[in-house]
Structure 1
């Protein structure tokens, strides 16, 4: 089980792994140092704190979607990433390009992760990202609201 911790319901910067069967704490990761992009629009600083949107663990790899809930221009386009983390070394294996993952979840599918990006007055796309490299073979145009569940979106494909 993965647990997010933050100031409110919309996400946080801390993530904990927990084994339900043994009721054992497995690990904790703190992303507070990544809460803000290196460059932000000063007028939007109250809106650009980047939080964990969704995470899934597969074996010893944690896949995590992180970003903020406002326009990409507010953080100079440095938002909405997907990152793979090796849980043994606690090192990032790869981080995707920006603006690929701000849907309310993502789906694991064989060697790929299906994720999406969209926001008011910004282009909407679905992405298939390779699990091993973070590479994006090709985006699919799609009308996607930030809170859209990808399980609902995939039903239309």
Structure 2
């Protein structure tokens, strides 16, 4: 597992350094759990992440999905290249998350083959109420990569 964690963290750092869009929207992301086929990350939202109504912007959600689903794919077999997007479905379930809120992003690789990968994702706002973490799902998605 140590090799898997190191690989995903190294790939994450490389992507942040080499992709302007990821650098803008994902600087400060931390990966709180890395396992085979699954990566859980957290990020505190800034004003750059929200739309004119103050909620998490849909385009930012798509960037979160693109970034973290690639990491979930890489966590399966430690590959460096995670493919190009073929299809992305995003359901915006709540506008609960805004600037200053912490979101949790859980990407799960459902199937990873030699040429196709299918990944599901949940983006949730995390609140602490009476000492317990509570999550409100903000975005749910499916991402197919080739």
1 or 2 for the larger relative contact order (CA 8 Å, sep ≥6)? 2
TM-score normalised by L of structure 2:
0.37
TM-score normalised by L of structure 1:
0.36
Greater CA radius of gyration, 1 or 2?
1
